[in-house]
Structures are given as C-alpha cells and as structure tokens.
Amino acid sequence: MRTVKLGDICLKIGSGATPKGGKNVYTDTGTALIRSQNVHNLDFVWEGLARISDDAASKLANVTLEPNDVLLNITGDSVARVCLVPEEALPARVNQHVAIVRPDPEILDPRYLVLYLASPYMQSYMLNRATGKGASRNAITKDMIASFEVPAPALDTQRKTIARLSAYDSLIENNRKQIKLLEEAAQRLYKEWFIDLRFPGHESVEIDPDTGLPEGWKESAFLDEVSFVRGKSYNADNLVDASEQQLINLSNIAPFGGWLPGGEKPFFGDLGSRSNCFFRGYSPCRNRYDQRAKASRTCCHGS
C-alpha cells in the first residue's frame, strides 16, 4: 500500500488566531470561532462554542472552514485531539490552537484521514512528537503535520473502511449517553447523602445541635485531611528506554476519572526538591507523577 505525506496532498494546513480583544469581542450570534475545547477525538463538542462578529471573522478569512475539514488541536494538554467540523457549525473560523487539515478528496477521504489520525498509533506518535521540553507547552507545528505519512489505499477501500468503523459510532454515542446518565445519578446520590444528609440509616442517627451534622462527623478543610505533593517537571533528556522510576502523566488518568495503565514514562534524572513525589504502598515500583495531569481528572494509583 502506498503512503503519502500530508504536505504533498493537502489543499490547506494552517491555524488561526484569537481576534484582537480576546473574549471581549465574542458575541451571542455570528460566525463560530472553534477552539481546542470544541475538538475531541472523533467528536465535536458544542459546549463553549464562541461566536464572533462579521468584522472579526473577515480578519480571519484565511482560516475559513469548509465542509469536512479536519480539525486538529496543536497546542496544550489537548494536543492531537482530532475531529471533522460539522456542517451545522459553519460558517466558522479556528483560533491559534486548532489547525485546519484539508486533504485533496481525490486522494484521501477526510473521514478516513480523521479516523487514521485518531487511531492509537497516530495519537501516540503525535503526542510523542508534541512533547514540550522543560517549561515549554506541548505543540504540533505545521511542518510536523506536513510530514505525517498516511496510508493511502484506493478511495473505494477507504470508504469501505469508513463504513465498517461507522457501525460502531452509534454504540459509542450510546455509551456516552449512558456515562452522562451515570454521572448525573452519582451527583444526585452525592447530594442526597452528603448535602441533604439522607444517607442509608439516617433516620436513626443523632444530629449534633452545634454542627448540624450527624454525631461523629466533622467539617474540615480538604488539605487538613490529605497530603498534597506537587509532581516533577521534566524534559526529553530525562526520559529513557527503561527505568525502575516511572513518571505517571496525563495519559494515565481517564477523562472521567480512573487509572489507565500503559502511559508511564521511564524517567532518569535528578529529582531535586521533588524527591518525595513517589507513591507508597500500592505500587510494585516507585512511580512518580508529572505536573501536567489534566485539571479535575482524578484516579487511584493502580498496582
């Protein structure tokens, strides 16, 4: 099977900019401004979609989106997330954190390309290429995108592949809906037990008149009950092929919480003031974590 470089077969590869004035120029109606928060793997998220005036949109005319354009996040913690722009979002522009990748449809079907870029292989490849050094942010450059090699079978084969995989789309969507329902149920249960204090057996529990809480309960600050240790910052020179020391990072923490094994990075370097940022008890080796875990994601460290 032949492969092609995106730089050789794309009609456009480019990112946009934030309109002058930033959020102050956002409007309730007008042209959509797609940002990295709207781009998830194989899924366009409508929540938080910004709108800009016709005047602001005209200044971003060079990043006007067309139907079936591929959207690729190119900076920050959401780097490498990829999806197709929905036609319902047009007219639209992108900001500087999102790239437009527009393949020649006579060579690559955009739906095939987005599936390939979202594959575990390409996600791992892009994330490794995007890793920032030191304090620099993760980033994928235009030249990197242009250098990506993509298998390019005949269009008929590409479309058969799309058809096979699309059969799973409804299952994925149903799972997302079920996850949302479970999250809502968990929130209701939390409120019922810990806010309304209607936990199982609450009828027979004495309430402390001074605190308004069940006897034996107390109210305290979170950091009074736990130890908080910030992780270790690192650069590419600290990563090796194998090491007993493993850095736990963003890819180990599931989007809705939970431990995901396999994303650890073998680490070799001076821990300096972070020498205490290792797990005790549950892990067979000394696992450390970096500072870039996605905000609000949580998990218990797996063994």
CB 76 within 8 A of CB 138: yes
Strands 246-248 and 287-289: parallel
Chunked in runs of 10, what are the mean pLDDT values of the chain (303 residues)? Answer: 94 89 85 96 93 91 95 93 96 95 97 95 92 69 96 95 83 85 93 90 89 87 81 72 74 72 74 58 43 56 56
In this prediction, residue 283 carries a pLDDT of 39
* CA-based torsion, 251, 253, 258, 263: positive or negative: positive
The half-sphere exposure of 30 on its side-chain side, counting CA atoms within 13 A, is 16
Instruction: Please write down the HEC assignment for all residues of 3-67.
Output: EEEHHHHEEEEEECCCCCCHHHHEEEEEEEEECHHHEECCEECCCCCEEECHHHHHCCHHHCCCC
Cis peptide before 91 (omega within 30 of 0): yes
**CA angle, corner 225, sides to 220 and 229, nearest 5?**
135
pLDDT at site 231: 73
| DSSP state letter for 84 | E
Q: Quick one: pLDDT at residue 271?
A: 66
**Residue 165, pLDDT score:** 85
pLDDT at position 255 is: 64
